[in-house]
Amino acid sequence: MELELSLSPPNQTRHPIKKSLHGDPCRFPLVSWNHDEDDQQPNTFFSGDYQQDLDDGVEGVIGWPPLHSWRKRMMEENQHERVEVVNREEDHEEGEININVMNRNYNELFVKVKMDGVGIARKIDLNAFHSYQTLTTALIYMFDKYVEIEEDGAGYKLMYQHRDGHWHLGGDLPWEMFIRSVKRIQMVRN
Amino acid sequence: MPTMDPNRKKSKPVDLVDSVDSRVELTESTRSCPFPDEVLERVLSLIDSHKDRSSVSLVCKDWYNAERWSRRHVFIGNCYSVSPEIVAARFPRIRSVTLKGKPRFSDFNLVPEDWGADVHPWLSVFSSAYPFLEELRLKRMAVSDESLEFLATSFHGFKALSLLSCDGFSTDGLKAIASHCKNLTELDIQENGIDDLGGHWLSCFPESQTSLEVLNFASLNSEVSFDALEKLVSRCKSLRVLKLNRNISLDQLQKLLLHCPQLMELGTGTFMQELISGPVTEFKNMFSNCRKLVTVSGLWDATPLYLPVIYPVCASLTFLNLSYATLQSSELANLLFHCRSLRRLWLLDTVGDKGLEAVGSCCPLLEELRVFPADPFDQEIFLGVTESGFVSVSRGCPKLRHVLYFCRQMTNAAVATIARNCPDFTHFRLCIMNPGQPDYLTKEPMDEAFGAIVKTCTKLQRLAVSGLLTDRTFEYIGQHAKNMETLSVAFAGNSDLGMECVLKGCPKLRKLEIRDCPFGNAALLSGLTKYESMRSLWMSACNVTMNACRMLAKEKPRLNVEVMRDEEGSDDSQAHKVYVYRSVAGPRRDAPPFVLTL
């Protein structure tokens, strides 16, 4: 099933389809954008300000949202850092304070998830799950609208990229260890 | 007793002034104004607002001249609207210049590098016309290290430099400023495209430098010598604004604060520190001597354990900038509980709607709120703030005037409620981050939302719209936004009618910036008589052709009509980026090859 998203509402032809060099109609620019460090391909559209690359899942509209480029850079730098503070217990007049900070947004463990055949990546909070099974089920359900998936998700397996950069098959680590080490997830077709 | 200024009529600092001097001689003999020039000048020297001064200069020739001679500060909103020679000829005694360059969309990378707005030609003229220049404030200008060095060595009494959103220079340029400007009171470096080659520039301040009042290097990444910084801070007894960068640790901050209890505005460094012993006790008294502090920013990496350190100063804070701190709702609530005097608050959307509820309940005096997105490019995170947070704030903060709000969902009903709660809006910028997104409940366009704003908020000066919008929105704006001066539009409208309504209906419109809208030639040309009363028009990725631009340029010779060529050069008849502005300086001579002036 091809993914076709439009920037404009369904019944409007605000942005005309422009013929590509090969005569095939080009797709409308995509609405969603998942900003990656991956390469961006030159545009082929009527408007010079769009970029799109379906396969890599890298889409972007230049200059949108309208955040100062300096602030954007700063946010991106923030996201790449992880602050690790060891478990610590403090004795205070008010009581004990227990800190366990694993990353900057220490209440959330958000990771990017991609599924083979789907152009858009998603992000999920691993805190919402307690096992590989619940995670896989949720992912299947989430991506169900975009690709044909068997009910038990038999056609896919969960691969994850460890903090050290290497890709592993999901399930090799105990769950608690997994959520602290995972950087991103990919659902790969068998 | 007004003092005679014997030099006034005799000195001719620049040859270009000659013609003007003779005019002065003429009017003296046919004087209708009963005041001697000196009295008039003395009175007019008390007028600061540049709008008032413009009005004054239009009264009569005497007043025009008196205004010219008494003016100390000039504000140039578009560096290409006038030439430095013209400015120097008209205003002989300037001490302070504010200069803005590139169109605002250059902040979002919509303007290619090397577009222009080079400050150097201005500095060249100023070095002979205004050798006593003291202040220079630049926004979106191209500034090179050579220019900074030239500035530092040409103006011996130079005091204040502010660079906001500029690019083209490195920390080497800052070295020149620090080394040569003996009377420097202000060095304010913000959000620039700067080449950070290290923090050695700060060590270039000589030991004789004791006059600094403002030092802002928060946006520079590299580490400065703490020793040099500490010594600098301790000998500058008039320091009232100090904004540090992230490399300055908490215990370093503590040491610095001991030297400057008179500080009014503080930007902290990193607000978290790994310690073996109890952190809070150590820093508990860090702020106890800072009785004049009204602004706090920075607070990078602040966590719940460390935020309480600033509680002692919160009660007197009027501006709190938390837009670098990824706070959660409860942390923010605990903090704001102590901040009852806040007038301005900047946040990241990690605080969520719950955090905004706390804003509404704790900050009744709030006038300005900005909520920035922590994760602007990840569409599927169910985080950030929604319409509900905005409504909560509006309920608790009826004095809100200035809002910038990034969100992923909004409804017409919510905005209507917000407008009713806060009728005094002067700046309303709502950014629904998904382009063309409708009211998420009713699925209708967001026309009624902005309609409510322009109908209810009669003092509105600045508006930025977003979401799914039809021409209706612009009809509302044209009908009701009678005080609006700046309008930003993106991914909106159906037809030329939208833009035409705005151009016809908004008498005070000065800046119109449009991207990715279906406005075409008819819309562009409908503003033929309007553009000369505006500062500028920006249109990119719309339906405008080169022919229409040529027509505009031909009909209105006092406008500069510039078209930026697309790199791929796909379709020569389409005008991809159009920038139109009024100018008395004629077409610019420094346009790069990709800018075509018609």
The pLDDT tens digits for B366-415 are 999 999 998 887 655 567 899 999 999 999 999 999 999 999 999 999 99
Does A156 or B260 have the greater pLDDT score?
B260
Whether A62 and B109 have beta carbons less than 8 Å apart is answered as: yes
On whether any CB of chain A is under 8 Å from the CB of B274, the answer is: yes
Mean pLDDT along residues B72-87: 96
Q: How many CA atoms lie within 13 Å of B38's alpha carbon, on the beta-carbon side?
A: 9
Residues of B in contact with A9 (CB under 8 A): 436, 438, 468
Q: Which residues of B touch A122 (CB under 8 A)?
A: 380
With a CB cutoff of 8 Å and minimum separation 6, the contacts of B471 are B493, B494, B495, B497, B498, B501
**Distance (Å) from the alpha carbon of B431 to chain A's nearest alpha carbon:** 8
By C-alpha distance, the chain A residue nearest B495 is A14
A-to-B residue pairs, Cβ atoms closer than 8 angstroms: 120
Residue B359 has pLDDT above 90, yes or no: yes
What local confidence, expressed as pLDDT, does residue A42 receive?
A: 30
Residue A151 pLDDT more than 70? no
pLDDT at B45 over 50: yes
Per the CB < 8 Å rule, is A69 touching B378?
no
Partner residue opposite B109 with nearest CB, options A69, A78, A83: A69
Contact B105 A12 (CB under 8 A): no
Gap between the Cα atoms of A153 and A141, Å rounded: 9
Q: Is B354 left (phi over 0), alpha (psi -120 to 50) or beta?
A: alpha
Whether residue B131 has a cis bond before it, omega within 30° of 0: no
Determine, for residues A8 and B541 on separate chains, whether the beta-carbon distance falls below 8 Å: no
Interface of B with A in 365-404 (CB under 8 A): 372-381, 383
Please say whether the beta carbons of B138 and B162 come within 8 A. Answer: yes
Question: How does residue B590 score in pLDDT terms, banded at 50, 70 and 90?
Answer: very high
Which of B380, B434, B488 is closest, CB to CB, to A123? B380
- Residues with Cβ < 8 Å from B134, sequence gap 6 or more? B95, B96, B155, B157, B158, B159, B160
* Alpha carbons B255 and B529: distance in angstroms, whole number: 60
CA-based nearest residue in chain B for residue A93: B281
Checking if the pLDDT of B336 tops 90, the result is yes
**Amino acid residing at B542:** C
Q: Which residue of B has its CA nearest to A92?
A: B278
Q: In this complex, which of A48, A71, A112 lies closest to B566 when CB atoms are compared? A: A48
- Strand, coil or helix: B114: coil
Nearest to A66 among B431, B567, B576 (CB): B431
Cβ–Cβ below 8 Å for B380 and A79: no
Report CB contact under 8 Å: B305, A99. Answer: yes
Q: With an 8 Å Cβ cutoff, is B442 touching chain A?
A: no
Measured in angstroms, the CA of B494 and the nearest CA of chain A are apart by 8
Q: Which residues of A touch B576 (CB under 8 A)?
A: 47-48
pLDDT tens digits, one per residue of B96-112: 999 999 999 999 999 99
Of B196, B167, B162, residue with least CA distance to B177: B162
- Mean pLDDT of the region B537-555: 95
pLDDT at B420: 98
A81 to chain B, minimum CA–CA distance in Å? 11
pLDDT band, very low/low/confident/very high, at A8 (cuts 50, 70, 90): very low
pLDDT (mean) for B314-325: 96
Instruction: Give the pLDDT band (50/70/90) at residue B284.
Output: confident
How distant is the Cα of A190 from the closest Cα of chain B, in angstroms? 26
Contact list in A for residue B302 (CB cut-off 8 A) is none
Q: Does B113 touch chain A (CB under 8 A)?
A: no
Q: Residue B167's closest chain A neighbor by CA?
A: A70
Nearest to B107 among A69, A78, A107 (CB): A69
Q: With contacts defined as CB-CB under 8 Å, which chain A residues touch B384?
A: none
**For chain A, percent of residues with pLDDT exceeding 70:** 46
Q: How confident is the model at residue A60 (pLDDT cuts 50, 70, 90)?
A: low
Contact B597, B562 (CB under 8 A): yes
- Identify the pLDDT of residue A136: 85
| CB–CB contact A68 B518 (8 Å) | no
Nearest-angstrom CA–CA distance, B324 and A74: 9
Q: Is B98 on the interface with A (CB under 8 A)?
A: no
Which residues neighbour B551 within 8 Å (Cβ) at sequence distance 6 or greater? B525
Q: Which residue of B has its CA nearest to A32?
A: B379
The confidence score (pLDDT) of residue B96 equals 97
The answer to which of A125-139, B49-63, B160-174, B310-324 has the lowest mean pLDDT is: A125-139
Q: For residue B313, give Cα distances in angstroms to A41, B310, B319, B333, B587.
A: 51, 6, 12, 16, 53
B450 or A48, which is more confident? B450
* B257: DSSP letter: H
Is B482 exposed, middle or buried, given 0-12, 13-18 or 19+ CB atoms closer than 10 A? Answer: middle
CA proximity to B233, closest of B253, B207, B270, B260 = B260
Least confident of A34-48, B276-290, B531-545: A34-48
C-alpha to C-alpha distance for B474 and B201, rounded to whole angstroms: 50
Judge whether residue A157 has pLDDT over 60: yes
Nearest chain A CA: its distance from B45 CA (Å): 37
pLDDT at B283: 84
Does B303 lie at the interface with A, CB-CB under 8 angstroms? yes
pLDDT at residue number A163: 80
**Average pLDDT of every residue of chain B:** 90
Tokens of B351: 């605080």
Strands A167-169 and A156-162, sheet pairing: antiparallel
Please report the pLDDT score of residue B554 as a whole number. 95
Stated as kind and residue range, the H or E segment containing B8 is: helix B7-10
Q: Residue B80 and residue B97: Cα distance in Å, rounded?
A: 15
At A108 the pLDDT is: 58
| pLDDT attached to residue A105 | 42
Q: Which residue has the higher pLDDT, A62 or B418?
A: B418
Over range B353-370, report the average pLDDT.
Answer: 97
Mutant choice from A40, A67, A80, A118 vs B, greatest count of B C-beta within 10 A: A67
- With beta carbons under 8 A apart, name residues in chain B contacting A34: 377-379
- Mean pLDDT across chain A, nearest whole number? 59
Residues of A in contact with B438 (CB under 8 A): 9
| pLDDT score of B567 | 60
**Tokens 């899942």 — which residue?**
A57
**pLDDT of B443:** 95
Residue B176 or B574, more confident: B176
pLDDT score at B278: 56
| Band (B223; pLDDT cuts 50, 70, 90) | very high
When mean pLDDT is compared over B35-39, B196-200, B248-252, B504-508, the highest value belongs to B504-508
Whether pLDDT at B557 is above 50: yes
Chain A residue with minimum CA distance to B566:
A48
pTM (whole model) above 0.95: no
Contact B415, B445 (CB under 8 A): no
- Determine the residue type at B180: H
Give the span between the Cα atoms of A172 and B210, in whole angstroms.
63
**Residues 6+ away with beta carbon under 8 Å from B36:** B2
pLDDT of residue B342: 98
Mean pLDDT of A122-134: 79
Tell me whether residues A85 and B274 touch, CB distance under 8 A.
yes
Check B518 against A47: CB less than 8 A apart: no
pLDDT, residue A80, reads 57
**CA distances (Å), B325 to each of A107, A180, B19, B96, B347, in order?**
14, 23, 57, 35, 8
How do B368-372 and A182-189 pair as beta strands? unpaired
Contact A75 B374 (CB under 8 A): yes
Residue bearing the bigger pLDDT, B20 or B529: B529
On chain B, the residues whose CB falls within 8 A of the CB of A43 are 568
CA distance A7 to chain B (A): 7
- Pick A48's closest partner by Cβ from B431, B490, B576: B576
Q: Which of A34, A47, A60 sits opposite B378 (nearest CB)?
A: A34
Inform me whether the pLDDT recorded for B462 exceeds 80. yes
Report pLDDT digits (tens) over B242-279.
999 999 999 899 999 999 999 999 999 999 876 655 55
Question: What pLDDT digit, counting tens, does each position of B429-447 carry?
Answer: 999 999 999 999 999 999 9
At B25, the pLDDT band (50, 70, 90 cuts) reads very low
Tally Cβ neighbours within 10 Å of residue B85: 14
Closest chain B CA to residue A97: B305
* Residue range B488-503, pLDDT digits in tens: 999 999 999 999 999 9
CA-wise closest residue to B240 among B210, B212, B218, B263: B263
Cβ-based contacts of A57 with chain B (< 8 Å): none
d(CA B17, CA B55): 22
